[in-house]
Amino acid sequence: MTRSDDEPSSPFEIIEPASWRAPIIFNSPHSGAAYPRAFLDASRIDLGTLRRSEDSFMDEMIEGLTSEGFAVVRVHFPRSFVDVNREPYELDPRMFDGRLPSFANTRSMRVAGGLGTIPRVVGDGQEIYRDRLSVEDALQRIESLYKPYHRALRRLIGSVHERFGAVVLVDCHSMPSTGISRDEPRRPDVVIGDRYGTSCAAQLPQTIEEALTAMGYTVGRNKPYAGGFITEHYGNPASGLHAVQIELNRAIYMDERRRERTERFAQITADFAALARAIAAVPLTMLGPFEAAAE
């Protein structure tokens, strides 16, 4: 259900299993649907249009994985309000009254596309705000939502890594079934992002691809999504810290226009749980930490 209260009851939640099956954390950073009333009032577009940026229902798809022995992290605020899959200060100066701090990254490709930490547009390119925002508003969102989320995620990753010697963060997203460009080829059912082999051990995307292919899904790697800030920032395979992004094609589990689950949703959810078990079967010895090779 979409909320429109002044503040979500909790910005995000972390649910750890009663008994860990494997050191795996499933994270859904973009499926939040708790829209602050002031945000809706400031928007020039309606709620339905804002929701096009959501990874709708991904949080529901992974919520049952705690009973399988895995941790689950779910963000409740919408990515169109604050996007935690960005650097902390990727900000577009065109959006604000006043001068941004000198440490803000105003020149990234994501800022240029309107999709910074405080997005300027929704996924299909429509401008969100009627008027410019105050710099103080942006910084407050980052302090109250973005930073607490990343602090909590770092603590969780650190504790799991300390306990097991390795940790796998699976960043769960969904993608539109078609791209903006007509020249883009048909998207597969799933795209695995590992930052072109740099964010996790090679065995992880290989295991994911083999498991999904055996279930009948078409699978791609790194195009058009190689993984965002979370995958890049938390992946350090030499230290036993692995991050991999999974993008599900929305058409396989939902009606994109009506934003409703289809009859395949239950099966896709069950298949995702089977995928989690396949990842858990990867031996910890293959996940490090690894000593640097001798010179």
Which residues are bridge partners to 71 per DSSP?
25
Return the HEC string of 147-178: HHHHHHHHHHHHHHHHHHCCEEEEEEEEECCC
Query: Looking at the 3D structure of the chain, how many domains does it have?
Result: 1
Q: What percent of the chain stands above pLDDT 70?
A: 94
Residue 110 in domain: no
Mean pLDDT within 39-63? 96
Distance CA 177, CA 182 (A): 12
pLDDT in tens, 192-211: 999 999 999 999 999 999 99
Average pLDDT rounded to a whole number, residues 67-96 = 97
Residue 295 pLDDT exceeds 60 = no
Q: What average pLDDT score do residues 46-50 get?
A: 94
User: Per the domain annotation, does 5 fall within a domain?
Assistant: no
Establish if 127 belongs to a structural domain: no
Has residue 98 been placed in a domain? no
Give 268's Cβ-side CA count (13 Å radius).
22
pLDDT category of residue 186 using cuts at 50, 70 and 90? confident
Residue 147 lies in a domain: yes
**Which pLDDT score, from 0 to 100, does residue 124 have?**
80
- Per-chain mean pLDDT for the chain: 93
- Mean pLDDT within 21-35: 97
* Residue 222: inside a domain: yes
Examine the pLDDT at 7 and tell me if it is beyond 80: no
- Domain assignment present for residue 270? The answer is yes
pLDDT at 291: 59
H-helix segments, the chain: 37-42, 47-50, 58-63, 109-112, 135-141, 147-164, 203-214, 229-234, 265-280
Q: Which two tokens stand for residue 264?
A: 């395949």
Contact by Cβ (8 Å): 275, 67: no
- The pLDDT score that the predictor gives to residue 92 is 97
pLDDT digits (tens, 9 = 90+) for 112-134: 999 999 999 998 889 999 999 99
Q: Residue 15's pLDDT band (boundaries 50, 70, 90)?
A: very high
**Quick one: average pLDDT of 97-109?**
95
Say if 257 falls within a structural domain: yes
253-258: which pairs have CB atoms within 8 A and are 24 or more residues apart?
253/57, 253/61, 254/56, 254/57, 256/176, 256/177
Q: Which two tokens stand for residue 76?
A: 């409740």
CATH of the domain at 188: 3.40.630.40
Using one digit for the tens of pLDDT, what is the confidence trace for 261-276?
999 999 999 999 999 9
Q: What does the pLDDT average to over 47-76? A: 96
pLDDT of the residue at 1? 37
pTM reported for the whole predicted model: 0.93
Sequence-distant (6+) residues with CB within 8 A of 104 are 89, 90, 91, 93
pLDDT exceeds cutoff 70 at 292? no
Its domain, for residue 40, covers 12-81+139-286
Peptide bond before residue 289 is cis, with ω within 30 degrees of 0: yes
Asked if omega into 17 is within 30° of 0 (cis), the reply is: no
Across 142-158, average pLDDT = 98
The pLDDT-based confidence of 180 (bands split at 50, 70, 90) is low
